[in-house]
Structure 1
Amino acid sequence: MTGRETSDGTVGRTLAVLDLVAGFGRPVRFAELLPVAGLPKATLYRFLQALTHQDMLAFDEAHQTYAPGMRLVRLAHSAWAQSSLAPVARAVLDELAEALGQTIHLAQLDNGAVLYVDKRNAKLPVEMFAQSGKVGPAYCTGVGKAMLAHLPEDRLAAAIDRQSFHRHTPSTLTDPAALRADLARIRARGYALDDEEHEAGIACIAAPILSGAGRVLGAISVTTTTASTPRDRLLALAGPVRDAAARIAQAAEAWRFPEHRSA
């Protein structure tokens, strides 16, 4: 449990258990949760029971496993419709994907991590990590760095503290100083690059989606393979990506996109 979850009392700890179950990505047994929950056995069981009674979790008696419940699915759908950029960005994503024929990602920040909220596949799809609904690192992805670069200093510092700085490839930035230097370059030029920093052979160019007041709403990227797209061709996509980001920002402002702290 984190300090934030502990300070939020029972509600925070219960939601942490819900996050834990969802994080497994599959139905999970009590015995698997107990070693990583950081809670006494009786307390963990009580939280699981409460979440199950409220339909936030579903319990499979035959397999003795817990999984996200239908109430959580309904809430997730409502959140996607009301707080996600995906609905207002849909037309822009469609147009950009059609024009470029490349993979398009739309993302937002979630507690210092990247939450992919929508995606358009390339005409010749490529297998990669990023998928709608997945959470990825911010420090080594184009969309992540595009958003980090435009956070105010207090929120940036908090977000950097949450990064793991795991070396995914030889190109991964592995310390805060290197990341901050790259973020300065991103702010100056208006777009971010992922030059095989998260996945070998995968590169992208990304632009932040900013409100009129400069608040970070999200980011959009064009992702391709280094084998199919030389670096100069990738850099040539900076204009279309920045234009798409501006159009999404304008649509979000018109939709009165909700204010929230996303770092």
Structure 2
Amino acid sequence: MNRQTTNGGHADGTVGKALDVMDLVAARGRPVRFAELLAESDHPKATLYRLLQTLTNQGMLTYDEARQTYAPGLRLVRLAHAAWQQSSLAPIARPFLDALSEQVGETIHLAQMDQGQVLYVDKRNARKPIDMFSEAGKIGPGYCTGVGKAMMAFLPEDDRAKAINMQAFFAHTPRTLTDAEALERELDAIRAEGVSFDREEHEQGIICIAAPILSATGRVMGALSITTSTQRNTLDGLEKLRPALTETATKIAEAAESWQFPG
């Protein structure tokens, strides 16, 4: 998301512009040509070229001269790995995800919140894997995923309002919540209930039950979900897995208490 100022500049200056460009490159999921980036970028051609050159010189991007494409660089990979180790729940949660996956046999997701959206930081496939959007490292919507709603429901009031304002409210399926008022009511119910459900709101045929991972003071560290398809389970069936889900979320929270996570 570009943060523009009223005069057309970027609120975070050159660094913000460079990060926007890195986001564009990473979002493609493949090497990308200059013309493709220019078509999506808010920056003038000369500015975009200069930013790409700087990022390439710094090792944050790589440039393939033969194919004339840009891709994430090894320096960025090193930084991403360090962030995964130091700021992600994934390393501390790994054994708990393994145990839950073995116990329930369904897909397990571990997520954290990033600018109102869901960052999937780890995943365990079901015994019989299902095709779905989520993969570790992907960004998903907050308003129509179980993990997203579980995290938003337990945010402080001001932070929740900011997160809601960041939602696109695109109707992915006929069951998607498409306005802030409906989401507010859903989040209130989730906070009272302690868990959330994805009722085919993001992908047709995909359902889940999710629980927040909360610190001893109630701070949202992340969320955990058990996901399946309507062809082999139901929401009532997932409800029966609630004790295993919430117990695992509590164990991850307890193990993570001594870690330092970004707010």
> Matched residues in 2 for 1:3 and 1:88: separation?
37
Residue 78 of structure 1 and its aligned partner are, at CA, apart by 0.6
Unaligned runs of 5+ in 2: none
Task: Determine the structure 1 residue equivalent to 2:3.
Answer: 2
What letter matches 1:148 in structure 2? M
Q: Determine whether 1:120 maps to 2:121.
A: no
Of 234, 239, 245, which residue of structure 1 is paired with 2:238? 234
Residue 115 of structure 1 and its aligned partner are, at CA, apart by 0.5
Q: Determine whether 1:217 maps to 2:221.
A: yes
Residue 257 of structure 1 and its aligned partner are, at CA, apart by 2.8
> Matched residues in 2 for 1:157 and 1:3: separation?
21
Of 250, 256, 260, which residue of structure 2 is paired with 1:257? 260
SS across alignment from 2:51: helix
Give runs of aligned pairs for residues 148-227 of structure 1, distance below 5 A.
148-227=152-231
Q: Determine whether 1:42 maps to 2:46.
A: yes
Residue 231 of structure 1 and its aligned partner are, at CA, apart by 2.4
SS across alignment from 2:172: coil
Please give the TM-score of this superposition, normalised by the length of structure 2: 0.96
Residue 191 of structure 1 and its aligned partner are, at CA, apart by 0.2
Contact 2:105/2:126, CA 8 A, preserved across alignment: yes
> Matched residues in 2 for 1:126 and 1:149: separation?
27
What letter matches 1:48 in structure 2? L
> Matched residues in 2 for 1:49 and 1:203: separation?
44
Please give the TM-score of this superposition, normalised by the length of structure 1: 0.96
> Matched residues in 2 for 1:231 and 1:34: separation?
44
Q: Determine whether 1:245 maps to 2:245.
A: no
What letter matches 2:41 in structure 1? A
What letter matches 1:122 in structure 2? A
Q: After superposition, what is the alpha-carbon deviation per residue over 1:56-82, rounded to whole angstroms, capped at 9, x for unaligned?
A: 000000011100001001111110011
Q: After superposition, what is the alpha-carbon deviation per residue over 1:161-191, rounded to whole angstroms, capped at 9, x for unaligned?
A: 1111111111110000000100011000100
What letter matches 1:11 in structure 2? V
Residue 233 of structure 1 and its aligned partner are, at CA, apart by 1.3
What is the aligned-residue RMSD (CA, Å)?
1.1
SS across alignment from 2:10: helix
Seq. identity, %: 60
Task: Determine the structure 1 residue equivalent to 2:142.
Answer: 138
Of 51, 69, 87, which residue of structure 2 is paired with 1:83? 87
SS across alignment from 1:244: helix
SS across alignment from 1:6: coil
Of 36, 58, 62, which residue of structure 2 is paired with 1:58? 62
Contact 2:109/2:124, CA 8 A, preserved across alignment: yes
Q: Number of paired residues?
A: 259
Which stretch of the first structure deviates more once superposed, 44-53 or 148-157? 148-157
Unaligned runs of 5+ in 1: none
Of 104, 109, 114, which residue of structure 2 is paired with 1:100? 104
What letter matches 1:257 in structure 2? Q
What letter matches 2:4 in structure 1? G
> Matched residues in 2 for 1:37 and 1:232: separation?
45
SS across alignment from 1:172: coil
SS across alignment from 1:227: coil
Which stretch of the first structure deviates more once superposed, 22-31 or 86-95? 22-31
Extract structure 1 runs of 4+ deviating beyond 4 A. none
> Matched residues in 2 for 1:225 and 1:33: separation?
36
